[in-house]
Structure 1
Amino acid sequence: MHPSTRLSMIATHLSASSASAASLSSTTQSRALSSAQPPKMSSQPEHPTLLIPGPIEFDDAVLQSMSHFSLGYRSESHVGPGFVSTFGETISLVRKIFQTTDPSAQPYIISGSGTLGWDLVAANLVEAGEDVLVLSTGYFGDGFADCFETYGAKVTKLTGPVGGRPQLPEIEKALKSKKFKVITVTHVDTSTGVLSELEKLSELVQSVSPETLLVVDGVCSVACEEIAFDKWKLDGVVTASQKAIGCPAGLSISMFSGKAIKAFEARKTPPASYFASMKNWTPIMKNYEAKKPSYFATPSPQLIHALHTALTQILAKPLSERFAKHAEVSDKIKKAVTDLGLKQVASKPEDQAHGMTAIYLPETVKATELLPRLAKSGVVWAGGIHKEIAPKYVRFGHMGVSVTDPNRKDIDKALNALANGLSELGYQKA
């Protein structure tokens, strides 16, 4: 059956179900559990403070939203009027997080991890045999390149030195060498803590190869680093729920420009994925944002409620304040690391992310010795994952409520634990 025919049949059924369910006003009203009027917060059980580059610590109200009961007509919780309204609002809130007011831009919220965002890009915006330029600053840039190759794209990869990023002159040279359908950049590579600059990169792409789509992997940057989707003329940003957005893992969240959608519609071949097909998901997202029940594949209602709460909290204040707070705390952490005589993987200040810090260890200290000591102090950090330097460094995630909630002392606790742990292992600043 043709997807559009299937969608039409399902929409007819759902509309009828929705009309019958409209009388369940108490169900609709219960949506408040996930948004403006959460129930009394419950204290979380005692646990070590999670300060890895995601998942992060979550606000009580967000976790409470996860306990929302199922909604809907009969057993169809994802098409009941209450949930349809919540999901529609959540899609609109995603537009605000990405700072876009362009009606042709299309948001997607799909059950899956951040990696699903790679598939959305590779399966829909590129056809087999087309050229893609991948700017890599570590493990996740390399992963994005692998994803494109899986779908048959011809990948050219520019890799920065460990702790650095490809520079504009070499990017310009590559763009002039051939016509690339897509150029991708990892805004913050979680393996190195390297922050890539987007605004000047976009200006370069617009100048040298304006037909090329600029796509950003923002899994570790959305909601803690500035991303101006419209202003910077981005064509795609893919992210996930469990990092700076502050919602439990399980949702792939993305935004694509009208230009990207037109590029998809101009494909000569069908998308190479079924679940990750924009052809299947775009009408669903449009319907939900218009508060119409729709179905292609089952969403995650409880996660959507949690995301609604998280986004509502974030947008209660100007995004500029949020970005400034992450930068302020990041500066404090970077100074403390330097004061301890340690170096960062991202060596240049302009290349250093504001939501995480990758820290080289002294030669006399092993990550396998330090991380357990941090855990005993009630702090969980991550080890290294970059294949060239993995045993030599650790990673400290500082984003979301650990940064923005003035009542939490997570950052001071972590810095004290680091200093004490190093001292216990015999390290002294030279």
Structure 2
Amino acid sequence: MTVDHKLCMIPGPIEFHEDVLNAMATPATSHVDPNFVPVFGETLEMVRKVVISETAQPFVVSGSGTLGWDMMVNLIEQGDEVLLLNTGYFGTHFAQCLETYGAKVTQLYAEVGSRPSQEQIKEALSKTQYKLVTVTHVDTSTGVLSDIKAVAETVKSVSPNTLVVVDGVCSVGSEEIRFDEWKLDVVITGSQKGLGVPPGLSIVVASQKALEVLQTRKTPVASYYSNWNRWLPIMQAYEARRPAYFATPAVQLVYALHTSLKKILSQPLQERFDKHRQVSAHFRQVVKDLGLTPVAKCDECSANGMTAVWLPEGVAVGDLVGTLANKGVQIAGGILKDYATKYFRIGHMGISVMEDERGHIKKVEDSLVNSLTELGYKSA
């Protein structure tokens, strides 16, 4: 937290609470230390609560959110059919991950800034028996929000045995997720976005139905580190307040996650979801008042933790990013293939949203207006 610290307002990593950073400043601690074991156990219980589940199994493992994709090797066997709902860059790369393990992936695309319709999903499900349907809850390349409740309802009504897998890397902690009520089977996330913890933890929540698929598979899991058969007894042991070992957990990051989750759960989750919706709607309106256009084509398909915005003519993405950085605000350029230089992305998650007194959102808005003016843009 140095004087020259720029506000990190990209779609993750996000700004971290001082208490979260302090939680990492623990001395070297054994992962089987009697003081650490209950912290890890309580962390697993809080992960379950933050996705609103009573029975799902959390896995908290050292690694990035992408490791959560890799963990789908536990559910995939050679030749399994997967329907992937593609809303941007991360859907495309999730497909590549699944294909690595032998899945036959059918991608259902949407126009840039939109999402596949329920009618398209129903039609696809009527043609093939899919083992998994995967959906990116928020694709950070476009800022598109998928309606995972509606997706799960459609899938379960047409194909009850198909597992619904949600890439929630940029949604857990900022978007509403009701794991049990919506009959989700897997939610994948990472520590550094809506959960407000530095990067380094892969967090996956699996339904009991998903674990049954693991237990009844015909072939061995084609992975060592990602293998839930190795991780499941570890997670169960820590939750029972017993030490266990397969691979060393990131002890200090678990302390940080424990601290952040306690803060998140100290108020009703619905209030958190509502506040992110309000701030997102306000920010989109600021963008529109400037005469700019969000990439997401409708309010209901716009993420609540980030916004992607088309650049105005005559403004280069590098110039805008650099000008904002000079004002103490770090934003991100685009990453969607063929469009990367045509838009920019701003995150609004976690303490930047929940703690108004920090003034993060106002600073971003003011800096954006001033930067565009300096770069010669005149709003309509």
* TM-score, length of structure 2 as denominator length: 0.99
- 2: CA distance, partners of 1:400 / 1:78: 28
2:80 counterpart letter in structure 1: E
**2:104 matched to which residue of 1?**
154
Shift of 1:353: 0.3
Which residue pairs with 1:297 in the alignment? Answer: 247
**Which one of 49, 55, 70 corresponds to residue 119 of structure 1?**
70
Matches of 2:239 and 2:249, distance apart in 1:
14
* 1:229-248 alignment, distance < 5 Å: 229-248=179-198
How much does 1:201 deviate?
A: 1.1
Q: Distance in 1 between matches of 2:229 and 2:306?
A: 36
What is the Cα deviation at residue 44 of structure 1? Answer: 5.2
Q: Tell me the distance in 1 between the aligned counterparts of 2:173 and 2:371.
A: 31
Q: Structure 1 309/44 Cα, relative in aligned 2: closer, same or farther at 3 Å?
A: farther
Residue in 1 that maps onto 2:16: 58
Superposed, 1:29-428 pairs within 5 Å as 45-71=3-29, 77-102=30-55, 105-121=56-72, 123-428=73-378
- C-alpha displacement of 1:202: 1.0
Matched residue, 1:14: none
Report how far residue 70 of structure 1 moved: 2.2
Give the corresponding residue for 1:37.
Answer: none
Aligned partner of residue 335 in structure 2, secondary structure: coil
Q: CA deviation at 1:45?
A: 4.5
C-alpha distance after superposition, 1:96-123 (max 9, x if no partner): 0010012xx21100000000000111x1
Q: Higher Cα Rg: structure 1 or 2? A: 1
CA deviation digits over 1:145-180, x for unaligned, max 9? 000001111110111111111111111111111111
In 2, Cα distance between equivalents of 1:46 and 1:318: 35
Cα distance in structure 2, aligned partners of 1:48 and 1:326: 22
After TM superposition, the score normalised by the length of structure 1 is 0.87
List gaps (5 residues or longer) in structure 2.
Answer: none
Give 1:406 shift.
2.3
Local SS of the residue matching 1:81? coil
**Post-superposition offset of 1:429:** 1.7
Segments of 5+ residues of structure 1 without an aligned counterpart are 1-42, 72-76
Provide runs of 4+ in structure 1 moved above 6 Å.
none
Q: Distance in 2 between matches of 1:45 and 1:267?
A: 54
In structure 1, what is the Cα distance between the partners aligned to 2:158 and 2:338?
33
Distance 2:255 2:224 in 1: 26
Q: Is the 8 A contact 1:356 1:396 kept in 2?
A: yes
Between the aligned partners of 2:2 and 2:222, the Cα distance in structure 1 is: 43
Distance 2:3 2:177 in 1: 34
- Deviation, 1:285, is 0.4
Give the superposition deviation at 1:290.
Answer: 0.4
CA distance in 1 between counterparts of 2:98 and 2:374 reads 46
Aligned-pair identity (%): 54
Q: How many angstroms does 1:425 deviate by? A: 1.2
The number of residue pairs the alignment matches comes to 380
